[in-house]
Amino acid sequence: MSSPATTSASPKAPRVAFYARVSTTGHSQDAGLQLDELRQVGHQRGWVTTEYVDDGVSGSATSRPALDQMLDAARRGKLDVVCVWKLDRLGRSLQHLLQVIDELTSIGVGFVAVRDAGIDTTTPQGRLLLQLLGAFAEFEKAMIRERVVAGVRRAQLQGTHCGRPEVMLDLRPAVAMLGSGYGLKAISKSLSVSRATLRRRLEEAGHWPRSGSVVSGEV
């Protein structure tokens, strides 16, 4: 993580954080490409800027040294705007992007993505576009939930177990104890398994219910 670098302008100029990230060091990846363009924008708009850079950090990581430091500065009222080169520099997950931007918005900090036209919460149009992105994200989550539920139901109809893994249980000791007159309560305690699970497994294997009188311990 690079130490924050600050440039100065008019005392009343917006205090802007430039955030840059490269996922791997070397391999022709350099945060300088992002920062050069951000600096040009900052100079044109007369911003007072501070730079936060995460080198060799994946965009899928929601916690990063420079990002965390920048967000802390925002929470302490040290920033007016956060500016990135592109949205994917802040994160590759739409949910995480919206979470960060929502937090910035809630504390009065704007957000600008230079290369993504229209992503600028300091303008009414930019705020509207982000609201649309949030709506699409919620729609995507709902669609995923529906597909998961439909898949589980289809699998269950085909006899596939869904949910918690089946408890491995050797029924031979249970069957022997049943033959000796023990009830389900005593057997389940002895085998360290719930009575409901034991009863279900015995029923599936055809060992329950027992013929004849009520078994001792089964009330």
* Residues annotated as catalytic (active site), given as ranges: 23
Q: Which two tokens stand for residue 93?
A: 């997950």
Q: How far is it, in rounded angstroms, from Cα 139 to Cα 52?
A: 33
Q: How far is it, in rounded angstroms, from Cα 6 to Cα 42?
A: 11
| Residues 115/36, Cβ–Cβ less than 8 Å | no
Q: How far is it, in rounded angstroms, from Cα 123 to Cα 10?
A: 22
141-155: b (≥16 Cβ within 10 Å) or e: eeeeeeeeeeeeeee
- Count the helix, strand and coil residues of the chain and give each as a percent rounded to the nearest 5: 45, 15, 40
**Residues, the chain:** 219
